[in-house]
A = this chain, B = another copy of it.
Amino acid sequence: MDRTSVDAGLLQSRYRLTKQRAAVLRALSDGMHLSAETIHARVRTNLPDVSLGTIYRTLDILRAIGLVQVFSFAGGAARYEAALAKHHHLLCSSCRSLVNVNADGLSDIARDIATQAGYTDIDCALTITGRCSTCSSPP
């Protein structure tokens, strides 16, 4: 099994690197903002017996280590994403699609605000909600 830099994060932690966890990491590096269900489906193509419970347990560990970012919103399952490059999200209120945006200016301002309010360990992943161009234009 080849060990990516992402796997290394797990190895350095107190957690074991199992084939299930490696498969979750692989699934995450393939796609963006995936639901647990989607990750489960992808992992199953290689490991048909993996349970959804294991997916959730793994994602929680990866989040605790800081390898994964989680996004929650009203009326749907949470989305998970490899925490490689920090970025923000545009969430369509109509079709629930997620799009990544890089905006350091936004991060800097947000970080300043939180710092001045006495916050530490600041996570600057912001979600801007709106109606995407596809949903706005007539069919």
Pick from B99, B119, B126: contact of A131, CB under 8 Å: B119
**Cross-chain contact B109 with A130 (CB below 8 angstroms):** no
Residues 71-91 of A, flagged 1 when their CB comes within 8 A of B and 0 if not, give 011100010000000001010
Residues of A in contact, count (CB < 8 Å): 37
Q: Does any Cβ of B come within 8 Å of A117's Cβ? A: yes
Contact B136 A131 (CB under 8 A): no
Q: Quick check: A93 and B128 within 8 Å, CB to CB?
A: no
Among A82-119, those with CB < 8 Å from B are 88, 90, 92-93, 99, 101, 103, 105-106, 109-111, 113-114, 117-119
Given contact pairs A72-B72, A124-B128, A133 touches B118 in the complex (Cβ within 8 A)? yes
